[in-house]
Chain A
Amino acid sequence: MAKKLFSRGEVMHLANLAHVKLTEKEVAQYQKQLSETIAYIENLSEITHQHVEKKEKKQNVFFDDQTSPVRILSPDQALANTKHKKDQYFSVKKIM
């Protein structure tokens, strides 16, 4: 595969998808660093996989349908760590 070079637009798109804000300096930095990393991981194409045996069947892990008070948080506990609350709700700026 040809060497992939991340464009500014691609970096911005990823930042958008991931809800991450970047400075112009960071955008340029990440263009370079992401391109280097992608170039390295291309080495995986060197491994042509033969059929790999399927993982052993394991017991399904479920829980029985019962409520339990052990982990339930009181509203105070649930809201204790937020800076944005109103009455007994979490709050955010009005969503249009």
Chain B
Amino acid sequence: MNIVGTSGIELIRLLQTKKMSSSELQEFFLKRIKKYDNQFNAYVTTVEEKKNVSNGQPLFGLPIAIKDNFCTKGVRTTASSKVLNDFIPPYDATVVTKLKKAGCILLGKTNMDAWAHGSSTETSDFGVTKNPHDLTRVPGGSSGGSAAAVCAYLAPLAIGSETAGSIRQPAAWCGLVGLKPTYGRVSRYGVIAMGSSLDCPGSITRTVSDAALLLGILAGHDPYDATSEIISVPDYLSCLKNKEPLTIGVSDEYFDNVQPEVSAKVQEALDVFRKHGHRIKKIKLISPKYAISVYTIIQRAEVSSNLARYDGIRYGNGREYLGQEAKRRIMLGTYTLSHGYYDAYYKKAEIVREVIRADFKRVYKDVDVIIAPTTPMTALKIGEWEKYPFFGEMMDILNEPGAIAGLPAINIPVGLDSNHLPIGMQIIGRHFDEETIVRLAHQYEEETDFFGVTKQILKKYQD
């Protein structure tokens, strides 16, 4: 039976009905990884060990790939930095604990920009990951490995993390569904910290239902994470069938400097929603360029602080192993926090952050979701980043405002450009309203099947 491209939910059905055993399925993916991953370099570490899955676990042994910034007990975790080259965590991140408890089997740890500092996976100390759609191009970042793995079906679904764009952007560039939940919806305990007030664990999947499935397992308050919200978790899968008409906000600022093909496909997608009775409403939001400044300051400050623990004494290698990008961010963060500059930079950034949050709150009085392109352009060629001085920030310009406000968002593929590269569109929701963005995305998927974007690519990588 050819299962290449089968969704997570479908695989669970196969496992549940014993059409396949969990070790057969694990073996299937490990074989594909061995066969194809030298082309992509999606994985940093693969786990060969066969795991037993006990009966009654809801995922029945579903294999999954996890981004290498999630601590996995007994399995090397590097954040794609040579500093942690030999680090084997003695504990599991809460996300990992929940997945194991639900019966997932870990296939391996996926490549990323080192310390999640980047938007292309090029800052990894373990080599760049290639985009399965075009091996001369990057998959995006920082969750590039997870995106490439799911794209080429070296994993049916994967866990990623996003600070500002790190799930949505690689999902967009690889033609997949990328879900970034509300900040505080999923526990950060065990996620190697980058931007403490921004980091969100999330997923990269082939279908919206798989994203809903994973969110249901991962969401919820964690007593080990004081920033995780004490709020009930809805049944996301059953929310999917909701087709009530919504008001969709669209802001001109989010179409500035966007490739025409990308804009066009997003506009076509809006037509699909119009057809289904949703209202499109023009909204005005503060220009994203301020969000870039806010994000740059807050993130760099938090990064400089979060990386202070890597001194090589208790684990890992010394700070001389830190890469260029890490050092650069640490330097800027140190500067904005240093004596005499805190008020002008960090404090000001926090104030403007509240202004941006309030701006969204105002807009959400009139709309239920906001739709925009996920990225201004499609996947860049490897090395092309050097052309753009503010590379990461420019790639993530459409993701940063929502991210600093902590809003949930989902990327879905809406077509291909003339280079056959995937174009992504994002749906941004209110705080803790993942249900609405997920069911709207699901409606689009049902209608269009993403124009075959997720499926066509697998023709290149059939067994």
A56 to B443 CA separation, bound complex (whole angstroms): 34
Q: Which of A14, A18, A26, A47 has the largest number of chain B CB atoms within 10 A?
A: A18
Do the beta carbons of A49 and B319 come within 8 Å of each other?
A: no
B438 to chain A, nearest CB (A): 25
Within 8 A of A (CB), among B136-185: none
Closest A residue to B356 by beta carbon equals A47
The interface bits of chain A over 51-70 (1 if a CB of B lies within 8 angstroms of the residue's CB, else 0) are 01101000101010000000
Closest B residue to A74 by beta carbon equals B90
- A14's contact among B289, B320, B334, B358, by CB below 8 Å, is which? B334
Instruction: Give every chain A residue within 8 A of B290 (Cβ-Cβ).
Output: 43-44, 46-47
Instruction: Give every chain A residue within 8 A of B272 (Cβ-Cβ).
Output: none
Do the beta carbons of B87 and A81 come within 8 Å of each other?
A: yes
Instruction: Give every chain B residue within 8 A of A18 (Cβ-Cβ).
Output: 304, 308, 330-331, 334
A53 to B88 CA separation, bound complex (whole angstroms): 45
Do the beta carbons of A49 and B338 come within 8 Å of each other?
A: no
Do the beta carbons of B348 and A44 come within 8 Å of each other?
A: yes
Within 8 A of A (CB), among B323-374: 324, 327-328, 330-332, 334-335, 338, 345, 348-349, 351-352, 354-355, 358
- A20's contact among B90, B230, B319, B351, by CB below 8 Å, is which? B319
Do the beta carbons of B87 and A30 come within 8 Å of each other?
A: no
Within 8 A of A (CB), among B29-50: none
Instruction: Give every chain A residue within 8 A of B90 (Cβ-Cβ).
Output: 73, 77-78, 80-81
Do the beta carbons of B390 and A40 come within 8 Å of each other?
A: yes
Do the beta carbons of B331 and A20 come within 8 Å of each other?
A: yes
A46 to B315 CA separation, bound complex (whole angstroms): 44
Closest B residue to A10 by beta carbon equals B335
A17 to B304 CA separation, bound complex (whole angstroms): 11
A21 to B286 CA separation, bound complex (whole angstroms): 39
Q: Is B271 part of the contact surface with A, judged by Cβ < 8 Å? A: no
Interface size on B, residues (CB 8 A): 46
Do the beta carbons of B332 and A37 come within 8 Å of each other?
A: yes
Do the beta carbons of B289 and A43 come within 8 Å of each other?
A: yes
- B345's contact among A14, A41, A81, by CB below 8 Å, is which? A41
B347 to chain A, nearest CB (A): 11
Q: Is B268 part of the contact surface with A, judged by Cβ < 8 Å? A: no
Do the beta carbons of B313 and A52 come within 8 Å of each other?
A: no
Q: A18-B331, A44-B294 are in contact. Are A82 and B313 (CB under 8 A)?
A: yes
A72 to B226 CA separation, bound complex (whole angstroms): 19
Instruction: Give every chain A residue within 8 A of B211 (Cβ-Cβ).
Output: none
B348 to chain A, nearest CB (A): 5
Q: Is B311 part of the contact surface with A, judged by Cβ < 8 Å? A: yes
Do the beta carbons of B320 and A52 come within 8 Å of each other?
A: no
Interface set of B (CB-CB < 8 Å, partner A) = 86-88, 90-91, 223, 226, 230, 286, 289-290, 292-294, 296-297, 304, 308, 311-316, 319-320, 322, 324, 327-328, 330-332, 334-335, 338, 345, 348-349, 351-352, 354-355, 358, 389-390
- Extra contacts besides A44-B293, A52-B358 (10): CB < 8 Å: A14-B334, A14-B335, A18-B330, A44-B352, A47-B352, A49-B354, A49-B355, A52-B354, A81-B315, A92-B313
Q: Which 5 A-B pairs have the closest CB atoms?
A: A81-B315, A41-B293, A77-B90, A61-B226, A52-B354
